[in-house]
Amino acid sequence: APRLHVATAGPEAVRGTFDVVLANLTAPTLEGLAAVLAARRAPDGALVASGFTRAEEPRVRAAFAAVGLAASRPRRDGEWSSIAFRAEISA
């Protein structure tokens, strides 16, 4: 089975789930695609979002929290940010 799947189509055109989903997109695009991207993540997998600024971090976090994903501590490079998301742990 392939270990890496790269697609240039939108995430809604990709079938299946993956251990790691990488999305380097603008904050508005990430917000709009949060549910679709989260659906491509395997149950124990990770989703890494990047391509947004520090100021946009709260919006990106909120979009993925709304679809049940918890954010790790952001990684930053100057003004740019990335965040890894996993399923929220329920009590």
pLDDT band at 1 (very low <50, low <70, confident <90, very high): low
pLDDT in tens, 26-66: 999 999 999 999 999 999 999 999 999 999 999 999 999 99
Inter-residue contact 46 to 86 (CB < 8 Å): yes
Tell me the three state secondary structure of residue 50. strand
pLDDT at 69: 96
- pLDDT greater than 80 at residue 4: no
Whose CA is closest to 85, among 67, 3, 5, 10? 67
Q: What pTM did the predictor assign?
A: 0.87
